[in-house]
Amino acid sequence: MTGITTTTLADGRELIYFDDGASAKPRTAATTTDHRPLPERGEPGEVRFDALTDEWVAVAAHRQSRTHLPPADQCPICPTTPNNPSEIPAPDYDVVVFENRFPSLGPAVGPVPSTPAWGTTGPAYGRCEVVAFTPEHTGSFSGLGEARARTVVEAWAHRTEVLSKLPGIRQVFPFENRGADIGVTLHHPHGQIYAYPYVTPRAGVIGAAARKFYDGSDGRQTLTGSLLRAEREDGSRMVMEGENFSAYVPFAARWPLEIHLVPHRQVPDLAALSGEEKDELAHVYLDLLKRLDALYPTPTPYISAWHQAPLDDLLRPASYLHLQLTSPRRAADKLKFLAGSEAAMGAFINDTTPESVAERLRAVVVPESSPAPAATAPAALGALPEGVHA
């Protein structure tokens, strides 16, 4: 069982230690007390309604002064030392989640205005959290052991459940930006969790398509489940299959590198996964990241985005947890930039074929780090395993 200890930082922000099950020990006040003289937290920024697109835009001017790629001895998410009193008071930790000091949303929570029009503004309610994967300043998620990766999965699930219950929250989004080319502001391996007071545009599009499909089948099938079935039956874009999860390059991939990781049963979010499913997820997710990094001589920048069901009565029944792992890297020394067609029109043009990308990912030999549920690159694809909700 993962050890969980909750405390607060000097300015009142919440911080939670998630300790690996095998080494979990009670945390004491000596290792959880923040002694820094921090200023009081500010009020939320604002959200503005874009009447042209029917979308909310957050305005967070206070983030201009946030920390940007500090040297290792000044890293704010390394363990605290006498010379570096960081955001994490303990001299060591396994996984830590804490409220961002420079949040795009929050710290207050509540709903956005219910009948917006041109000129409508409101407080940027919500929650932004940082997830520190390891006390080590260098490395990446793919270098974690499976026990540590499992602790991160538990942290994602725990925070999803808690944040989903906050007033006004409509969507909880765990994600990781990896690499300077993606725009990270800290080198230390970490991810983030945003809890939005509205359904984001991308989630709204996916949710509407899922609901349309769900209604067309009289509630008997889900869109993501049907796509999983189609990809497994075709086989040419499959990357791996496990007992509870499968990964594939989608038929209409937008990015040069794009992988979807999908559970074999419909669940709305990470909090709904069983212990067995979380165990396997830690294994297959590490496998995917290692395959991605093995494609080129240097680490590949990526965005790892967990698509969870919005907290919306219409969209949630048809929604289906899945990961979308994407990278703009189209060659060893080339990145795909979103220019006219993609950035202005949202019309993607992919420079690679999904089938060739899947073949390259399947061909990667990933060394086993420790015993775990098996997930293999597909050979001959047969019937879906029992329990698959398509």
Domain boundaries defined on the chain: 3-198, 202-376
The pLDDT score that the predictor gives to residue 347 is: 97
> 109 by DSSP, 3-state: which?
coil
322, containing H or E segment = strand 322-327
Q: Which of 202, 328, 323, 204 is nearest to 257 (CA)?
A: 328
Using only C-alpha atoms, the chain has a radius of gyration, in whole angstroms, of: 21
What confidence score (pLDDT) does residue 389 get? Answer: 36
* Structure confidence at residue 96 (pLDDT): 97
pLDDT: which is higher, 244 or 384:
244
Class of domain 3-198: alpha beta
CA atoms of 240 and 364, how far apart (whole Å): 11
* pLDDT tier at 386, thresholds 50, 70, 90: very low
For 327, the 3-state DSSP assignment is strand
pLDDT tens digits, one per residue of 52-103: 999 999 998 877 667 788 999 999 999 999 999 999 999 999 999 999 999 9
Beta partners for 190?
A: 132
pLDDT for 22 equals 60
Answer for the pair 168, 111: CB distance below 8 angstroms, yes or no. yes
pLDDT tens for 195-225 read 999 999 999 999 999 999 999 999 999 999 9
132 near 93, Cβ under 8 Å?
yes
> Residue 57 is encoded by which pair of tokens?
């835009």
With 0-12 / 13-18 / 19 or more C-beta atoms within 10 angstroms meaning exposed / middle / buried, residue 370 is: exposed
- Per-residue pLDDT at 176 exceeds 80: yes
Find, among 204, 226, 390, the residue nearest to 311 by Cα: 204
Q: Which residues are catalytic?
A: 190
pLDDT for res 325: 98
Q: What is the CATH number of domain 202-376?
A: 3.30.428.10
User: Among residues 214, 387, 217, which one has the least CA distance to residue 316?
Assistant: 214
The amino acid present at 153, given as its one-letter code, is: V
